[in-house]
Amino acid sequence: MTVAAAGSLPGEAVPVAKGRPALAAALRHPAALLLLPACVAVAAGLLLPILYLLALSLNPPVTGEVALAGELTLRNYARLLDWFYFSVLLRTLWVSAVTTAISTVLGVAVAHSLWRTPPHRRGLLVVVVLAPLLVSIVARTFGWMLLLGDQGLVNAVLLRLGLVEAPLHLMFTQGAVIVGLVHVFLPFMVLSVLAAYDRIDPAIPEAAGTLGAGPFTVFRETILPLLNPGIAAGVTIVFSLAMSSYVTPALMGGSGAGVLTTLIYQQLVVTYDWHFAAALVAVLLASTLLLLGAVLYHNARRTRAWMTRPGSAPR
């Protein structure tokens, strides 16, 4: 196998050593070498810490020390079989799933309204949707604490209207955490779905309507399948961020609605059990990747089935 070399005659070729296909490919496509710094940065900043955490989680726990003892054990993962830790994992998955579901429904509704809005007004409404991202997450969470507290605005209105006799306990519950997370992550879902809406030809739903399909049928059979890529992207972003969120669950959930991130913080800062915290991080990462993979695989199958059925829109 030969490639042309700089400084050689036009008809000459320089042989490339056999058994080095990667080097030969790089010589044929020098632009691929530009990816090398990015790959090194990703490996150094992401993969190496994850590998170190995995190795740390497989070492015996030593309180207050962060070291690899060289002895492999599953003792840290066995502790997760305790009902307390397992219930925290289930609560984390439940809160993240509900947050993602609510954000998806609201995000599709808001994006649909923005899509139907004239262009000269859409820009202002998009700014309103993105406005929460301009405020610190701590400030937004504190605002919800003022609204949902025992002496907050919600309870004050309910008491004034006579709907309740005593303040409702709204704070430090799973519901409060979900409300806070939806408020934080909804703009990401709206942007993802709105990008999918902008790729839809308005003539498609109009043609379906002229053929006698009602508004709900047009949305379900024509628009919704075309939104699958945007919804899948939004679900990926929201679910990943909800699983790894710490500030909102810590401030609005308290000890009664703790999730894996708050438990990891306690193991790192309070008990100094870095090995068990590493095992919790590994479980958090694995569960997030597995669930997202399952959701994306199911979404891809649905999209493929819709695109290949008779009478579907052209690819």
pLDDT of 9-58, one tens digit each? 454 444 544 545 655 665 566 666 777 888 888 888 888 888 888 888 99
pLDDT score for 299: 77
pLDDT score for 5: 47
pLDDT of 295 over the 50 cut: yes
pLDDT score for 314: 44
Span of 52-66, 128-142, 189-203 with lowest mean pLDDT? 52-66
pLDDT score for 14: 47
pLDDT score for 25: 61
Show me where the domains of the chain are located.
79-308
Alpha carbons 252 and 263: distance in angstroms, whole number: 15
Q: What is the mean pLDDT of residues 281-292?
A: 91
- Average pLDDT score, the chain: 84
pTM equals 0.81
pLDDT of 155 over the 50 cut: yes
Task: Summarize pLDDT for 203-232 with one digit per residue, the tens.
Answer: 878 887 777 777 788 888 888 888 888 999
Q: What is the mean pLDDT of residues 120-146?
A: 88
pLDDT score for 311: 54
Task: Summarize pLDDT for 225-244 with one digit per residue, the tens.
Answer: 888 889 999 999 999 999 99
Class of the 79-308 domain? Answer: mainly alpha
